[in-house]
Amino acid sequence: MLRGMSAVQPASIDELSAALGERSYLADRGLATVLHVALKLGKPLLLEGEAGVGKTEVAKTLADVLGARLIRLQCYEGIDVAHALYDWSYARQMLYIRTLEAAGDASGALKEVFGRDFLVRRPLLDAIEYDDVVPPVLLVDEIDRADGEFEAFLLELLSDFQITIPEIGTISAKQRPVVILTSNRTRELHDALKRRCIYHWIGHPSLEREIAIVRARVPGVPEVLAAEAAAFVERLRTLDLAKAPGVAETLDWTQALVALGQSELDAEVVDATLGSVLKYHEDLQRVRDHGLQQLLAEAREAAARAG
């Protein structure tokens, strides 16, 4: 049975940017351009940037724009083919063999149990051999967390959009899925992988854009609070922190402030809620030592200038 609904791909960069904006993802011109090019050329897109800048959200929002199913492969150290590509349903295989043995007809069972009926599709195989009307969006998230061996394994997929299963043969995509890879750059990726992708770095947004993002993503946020929260986080990024907060932390913090009924920032509430923004004890202490009142005054001034 076919899944999904057909959708018209945005015809221009402006149309794509507007479609993303309608879903509260405010992409800058550079990101909208590379997304448009990747869709037109059918090439994978590699997005790098600090954690929390919205790389994963790009794939989620683009899938919604295209009316496509999102298939997410979350990478981690030690990920292998059985978790990423395919596996066999061993319990069903054993049950099938025992059933044949009980019936006295186990001849050819070994060949049968390694057929498609017992194949378990993992994300990569699901993205290649799909039955959706619209090609899915495959998100290979945090590829830098996987090892070099797994990265090399992806090359066949990204080159030819096909995979080989020894017991079955080669399976090719009838139409290429949209592929987005993300990396937090905890390690350098191999050149061979990068050559197969269009590359884009997502940095922290400008203050004006971050304020707009907060207003779009946090329902009911007071305008002054949105501007001051974004400006305060921008000031935090100028400090020597172990982990600079991303847009995701700005949104989490603003949601917490709204839940507390704040209409603007004050030092007491900022101090009490810093754990929504900073995730290391050393960073919390460094910010407090720097002076919350000074940071707050600078943030209010910046927010007033940004409007």
pLDDT for 145-200, tens place per residue?
A: 999 889 888 887 888 888 888 888 888 888 999 999 999 999 999 999 999 999 99
SS in 3 state form for 131-143? CECCCCEEEEECH
pTM of the complete model: 0.87
Positive/negative CA dihedral, 296, 298, 304, 307: negative
Buried b (16+ CB within 10 A) or exposed e, 75-114: beeebeeebbbbbeeeeebeebeeebeeeeeeeebeeebb
Return the residue matching tokens 């059933």: 99
Q: What is the pLDDT of residue 122?
A: 92
Q: What is the pLDDT of residue 59?
A: 97
Give 178's strand partners.
137
CATH of 13-81+122-201, one of 3.40.50.720, 3.40.50.300, 3.30.390.10, 3.30.420.40: 3.40.50.300
Domain boundaries, the chain: 13-81+122-201, 86-120, 207-306
pLDDT surpassing 70 at residue 28: yes
Mean of pLDDT values over 284-290: 93
